[in-house]
Structure 1
Amino acid sequence: MATTATALRGISDVAEETGLTAHTLRYYERAGLMLEPVGRASSSHRRYSDGDVRWVVLLTKLRGTGMPIRQIKQYADLVRAGAGNEERRLALLEEHRARVLGQLREVERNLQAIDHKIAVYRECALERPAAAGSDQRNAA
């Protein structure tokens, strides 16, 4: 049975693919967020495996939902430790999910306030068409 080689990518390719900067990718490595040390070419340039890239995408999603680096590090440490700590991983992710849901509810309330203001101004605009050349800068 033949095995296929994993496509290795340089840091600029991974940065482009994930939307992160090379600086951020290096930081993730220095901060101990990667599951394994990122491979190196003989030139010492970083070479990311498919698994590395999948992990970076997950890190990006965790950061995008507001998980602090400290908690991401805890999660990475648990994953790196292997089987036997799945309950702790689950608890960490469930706690984060609850925080994210709370943030979503807050954003929804804020969006409703914005929608209300938009409706007020639309109604105002329909009732009182702007006079040609009038100064609207003072409208709040």
Structure 2
Amino acid sequence: MADYYTPGEVARRFGLSLDTLRYYEKEGLLTEVERAPSGHRRYRADDVELLDLVRCLRDTDMPIARLRAFAELVRDGDHTVPQRVEALETHDAQLTERIAELRRRQQTIRDKIDYYRGVLAERRTEKQKEEVS
């Protein structure tokens, strides 16, 4: 594993634009990104690991403010592990509720699909009866 990653490498790895990567930095979701002697930004393996978790949490709808608070806990050190566990458990519970809600909505959609298929089948049957007459 490389010691440092360029912004382009990190952006490609996570399917992000460079603007999104800079936004995450600006919002305090990543540690202060180091600079190479040339002045170019470079990411350490720890930055990439944190970004992987940030993306996971963001993709599961954790708000930026809570992401920032979580990232601050990470930066504050290992003594914050209990608070991190609590934050992740809370998010997991909210995600479980959201998934259940999505499953209920999916069932409503599937019921409507079945209903409309029934309507279409009935129309075909009526049309076939008309053609026989």
TM-score per shorter chain, which class? 0.7 to 0.9
Task: Determine if the alignment matches structure 1 residue 103 to structure 2 residue 104.
Answer: no
SS in 1 for 2:4: coil
Which digits, 9 at most, give the CA deviation of each residue in 1:43-100, with x for residues without a partner?
3221123332221111011011111111111111111111222221111111111111
- Normalization by structure 1: what TM-score? 0.80
SS in 2 for 1:37: coil
Higher helix share: 2
Q: Structure 1 stretch 7-16 or stretch 60-69: which is displaced more?
A: 7-16
Task: Determine if the alignment matches structure 1 residue 13 to structure 2 residue 25.
Answer: no
1:7 Cα offset (Å): 4.4
CA RMSD of aligned residues (A): 1.9
Provide the identity percentage: 39
CA 6–16 in structure 1, closer or farther in 2 if over 3 Å, else same: closer
Task: Determine if the alignment matches structure 1 residue 62 to structure 2 residue 57.
Answer: yes
SS in 2 for 1:48: strand
SS in 2 for 1:33: coil
Give, in whole Å, the separation in 2 of the partners of 1:125 and 1:11: 53
Show the counterpart of 2:71: 76
CA 71–19 in structure 1, closer or farther in 2 if over 3 Å, else same: same
Q: Structure 1 stretch 79-88 or stretch 122-131: which is displaced more?
A: 122-131
1:123 Cα offset (Å): 1.8
Give, in whole Å, the separation in 1 of the partners of 2:22 and 2:109: 39
Could you list the runs of 5+ residues in structure 2 that have no partner in the other structure?
128-133
SS in 2 for 1:66: coil
Show the counterpart of 1:90: 85
- Normalization by structure 2: what TM-score? 0.84
- Structure 1 runs, 4 residues or longer, greater than 6 Å off: none
Corresponding residue pairs, total: 126
Show the counterpart of 1:138: none
Q: Structure 1 stretch 74-83 or stretch 122-131: which is displaced more?
A: 122-131
Task: Determine if the alignment matches structure 1 residue 38 to structure 2 residue 29.
Answer: no
